[in-house]
Amino acid sequence: MKYDVCVIGAGPGGYVAAIRSAQLGLKTAIIEREALGGVCLNVGCIPSKAMITAAHFLHRAQHDAPVMGIEIGSIKVDMGKLVTWKQSVCDRMSKGVEQLLKGNKVEIISGEAHFRSTKELEVVSSQGKTSVLADKYIVATGSRPIEIPGFAIDENEVNSSTGALALDKLPKKVVVIGGGYIGLEISSYLAKLGSEVEVLEAGDALLKGVADKDCVQVVARKLKKLGVKIHHGAFAKKYTKKGKSFEVSAEVAGATKTFSADKILLTVGRKPNSDQMGLKDIGVAMDDHGFVKVDPQMKTNVSNIFAIGDIAGQPMLAHKASHEGVLVAEVIAGQNRVYDAKTVPAVIFTDPEIASAGMLEEECKAAGYKNLKIGKFPFAANGRAVSMMEAEGFIKMIADADTHVVLGVHIVGPEASNLISEAALGIEMGARLEDLALTIHPHPTLGETMMEAAEATLGHAIHMIQKPLRNGSGGAQPRA
């Protein structure tokens, strides 16, 4: 069968690219070797948020409800039933993707694809082998967990996030190798459900260079409150089996230490699946990390092959892949589009959540901004947050002191994942602090904190006391 466009991979980049291609009148096929929706929908974003939500409900019932005067009594966690519910969420979403593809007349092909040439694919499935021809190919095959020596992932003894989201029973003790966002999200949910969690982080700080350091401090304090133990400068070396449990050996500050565990979770990052379909054989260029090189229209060096999502470089985020999916379809259809996003917002679903858009403070300085206005507004001063009993954290806003253009917004607190979209829109549109501060926000809402953070950065927040500047104008001090 011959197609105008063939998409390889049905994750959040691939299925979006296929749907948009079909909407634009292109005869489109999509090839998927596992489940529609990809890693994000089946074993990543969606199932992890389902488990995090369940753990959050449990934690609030145990700790917040009694303060409100609601006595619930003893609570039992049925891990089997919880995992079954989580899977039902994934199955529902995957079925929805299938209906969308079929409704847009995209042909779904099950199997593993391999390039025979720049014009032809071989697809291998349980039904045998078949050939697929297309004028244009979109590679959207995503990424997979990185392994380290001594810790091969088998989802039994050593688990990736996939195994950690499908536990048939709650482990008593868990060792998490890697203090990145995946490791911390899962550490939070397991700790709330009742596991003892220890995190081995090679670096000297959590989420270094990934999230605002002030925001990370709030999460680190909450993790400690939850009983999660974090070991910095810890390099896992090997593990041994001790009956039904394990002992993990790690080098910590020059000494060898052992950590006991019922489950080992490895979350040291992800790498692109660029080595699995013969891309090098047909001359597709890649960088030293295995990411496919693309131009602003997601074109590779091979004229009829495009790449999007995790395989096309950082940041490895589902919403960035979806954005690229729409873009690449429109480019193939003849529209003059390029990737020109000013920011890709990022969210870490810890407790409290961290969300960011734009540049970190150190990135602003590296970009040549010499004078910055930086302000914070705490959720503790927001009536809605207090009434929700979720008043930890703040919104931190960074702007150019000369122009007041917003450069970065970093949130740690309740509903940060939802609040960050206003910041992303503002940065994308070149908003100034005054644009946010003078926009009337509804009360009582968490969204008011965005307005008040802008006011705080300008130096005249209403619901917090700020030190006046020497000239008497009041406000947040510019930082050189």
Q: Which of 56, 114, 443, 463 is catalytic?
A: 443
Q: Bridge partners of 5?
A: 28, 136
Instruction: Mention every residue, 6+ apart, whose C-beta is less than 8 A from residue 27.
Output: 2, 3, 4, 5
Show the CA angle centred on residue 321, arms to residues 317 and 325, nearest 5°.
170
Q: Is 289 a catalytic residue?
A: no
Compute φ and ψ for 32, nearest 5 degrees. -140, 130
Alpha-carbon span 245 to 270, nearest angstrom: 26
Element (H, E) at 245: strand 245-252
Nearest residue to 261 (alpha-carbon basis) of 220, 201, 200: 200
DSSP per-residue string spanning 1-50: -EEEEEEE--STTHHHHHHHHHHTT--EEEEESS-TTHHHHHHSHHHHHH
* Residue 290 burial (CB count, 10 A): 14
Q: How far is CA 462 from the centre of its chain?
A: 34
Alpha-carbon span 260 to 248, nearest angstrom: 6
Cis amide linkage into residue 352, ω under 30° from 0:
yes
Token pair, residue 275, equals 């080595």
Q: How far is CA 51 from the centre of its chain?
A: 15
Q: Mark residue 389 as left, alpha or beta (left: phi above 0; alpha: psi -120 to 50; beta: remaining).
A: left
Give the residue numbers annotated as catalytic, written as ranges: 443
